Structure 1
């Protein structure tokens, strides 16, 4: 069992699909979920998904805490309309339940040994937790984002060919926190799932069909079945493949062999992110991807 805390946001459908996949995965002990920035509608969606998967026991935290919800900024809607369209408007009536301050909840949860924090958003909760709780240590931080360029990736995506640095949404949303976490001696291992790799993982009809074939004749758990149904709807409505960046990162947390990783130093230069080969940093970035292994991990 891999003990995981998931930090997420809700503007893109893949974070929530990843949560559904993690919630009742047989190889995962989902210890908690923290939301960035953590508005009421975000926490309501997360609670609905966890309850759907029978995970009423999983605590939820919000970066600013529920006291922030009454503020003008806290009342801004932050859940993509895709979620209500696909999963149902009844989410809006679902009980939010208890919501804790995210950094404090995260600090409490990762006090247990052998915990992995998977971040599909800007690393704001984990960044604040390490700043406010100096005694914290962590076994593994898996971050979706960052960039591995031509100096590391043998077969770069065409849109990134010739680049050594590139903007990256998630670390770019919390650059100070990202750099502090990269330098922290209190994190034993850091894995970045680079956009030069995960942007090539497009969830198309063939991949969807392959996963369904792999699951044929088995009892498909609620979280995975709901994710598959949502992807069916996405492919039908939009007619284009769906990038599933966070799902790749979460799969690597369970089985790092889903991607090929190289030891690196990650740096920021003129607002862009890059990585150079280095030893002894306890940091690695993805430079390759194994689709067959990915599907096996998804199937559980």
Structure 2
């Protein structure tokens, strides 16, 4: 698996921690969007904590961009500093490649999955720069499946067929090009009408702790749980687990019910309609027990 991520929403980094030491995942590389120095330091810190200094990091614009005014902007959310300490900014970043070039190199593995928890900018540029690239599967967090597809739509989305979606909306041209590419064998979108309903709670924490009690060596998983616990409010309601649902689905597609669709964009919003033969599927249902099983393996 290759993971493309950003750092404004903390669930990307929680997903990275989980992926880094999961026994069922061979993490080939991490691509950072847009890839500022502080973002790459955070990613390297997390990989080192999980015993994965071997995993290469790529930044969308490469490290030379760090010297520009835009590249100097801080892009790591305050949550990470509060959760892990200011020491992450002193962590040695090591070697950072140009993200699209690194991805093109990693895709020599014919069975790779690219999991994207951000706008698909690294993967989009890689396929633009190297048109002959092939990819077995692209799993994207985001997109929208409406009432006509989702059996139990979330109340806040009831009656909607399209909706804005942050990740594909951050790179609409790249998203549409990747959706149309014959070089990608399978595409899976984890719709916000499904993953927005998966929220961390004390009962989920207890269930996951029971599953991992016999495996204390999972450093990344424990760090993920501790970070999610910081979000719990007085009513026991915590963070929506968007990217973790997508990552679990990438590892075991049975976490979600998937329907084959055509994904489209209309007036800045995203939707999906049932169409056969697209090699594109979107989540229309969710199975919590299987999700917890995959997280706790």
TM-score of the pair, normalised by structure 2: 0.98
Q: CA deviation at 1:240?
A: 3.6
CA distance in 1, matches of 2:21, 2:234: 27
| Of 94, 99, 112, the match for 2:96 | 99
Contact kept, 8 Å, 2:143 with 2:190, in 1: the verdict is yes
Alignment match of 1:143 (pick from 140, 144, 155): 140
Q: Which sections of structure 1, spanning at least 5 residues, go unmatched?
A: none
State the distance in 2 between where 1:252 and 1:74 align: 33
1:273 aligns with 2:255: no
198-207 or 21-30, larger mean C-alpha shift = 198-207
Tell me which residue corresponds to 1:49.
Answer: 46
- The CA deviation string for residues 27-54 of structure 1, in whole angstroms up to 9 with x for no partner, is 0000000000000000000000001011
1:182-216 CA-partner distances (Å, limit 9, x unpaired) = 00000000000000000000111211111112222
CA distance in 1, matches of 2:248, 2:89: 29
Q: Indicate the SS of the match to 2:232.
A: helix
Gaps of 5+ in 2: none
Whole-Å separation in 2 of the counterparts to 1:85 and 1:219 = 24
Question: Does the CA-based 8 Å contact 2:199-2:237 persist in structure 1?
Answer: no
- Determine the C-alpha separation between the residues in 2 that align with 1:66 and 1:246: 26
The answer as to 2:11 corresponding to 1:14 is: yes
How far is 1:113 from its partner? 1.1
Note the alpha carbon deviations across 1:126-183, whole angstroms, 9 max, x for none: 0000000011000000000000001101110001011000000000000000000000
Whole-Å Cα distance in 2 between the matches of residues 217 and 239 of structure 1?
26
Say yes or no: does 1:196 pair with 2:190.
Answer: no
Task: State whether structure 2 residue 9 is matched by structure 1 residue 5.
Answer: no
User: What corresponds to 1:74 in structure 2?
Assistant: 71
Partner secondary structure for residue 76 of structure 2: coil
CA distance in structure 1 between the aligned counterparts of 2:175 and 2:203, rounded to whole angstroms? 35
Write out the 4+ residue segments of structure 1 that deviate beyond 4 Å after TM superposition: 236-239
TM-score, scaled relative to structure 1: 0.97
Match of 1:243 among 230, 240, 256: 240
**Alignment match, 1:293:** 290
Shift in Å at residue 231 of structure 1? 1.6
Q: CA deviation at 1:236?
A: 6.0
Task: Identify the residue that residue 281 of structure 2 maps to in structure 1.
Answer: 284
> How many residues are treated as equivalent by the alignment?
297
Rate the CA distance shift 1:120–1:238 in 2: closer, same or farther, 3 A.
farther
1:8 to partner: Cα distance: 0.1
**Distance across 1 between alignment mates of 2:197 and 2:117:** 17
SS of alignment partner, residue 26 of structure 2: strand
CA distance in 1, matches of 2:215, 2:7: 30
Tell me how large the CA RMSD over aligned residues is: 1.2
- 1:167 is matched with 164
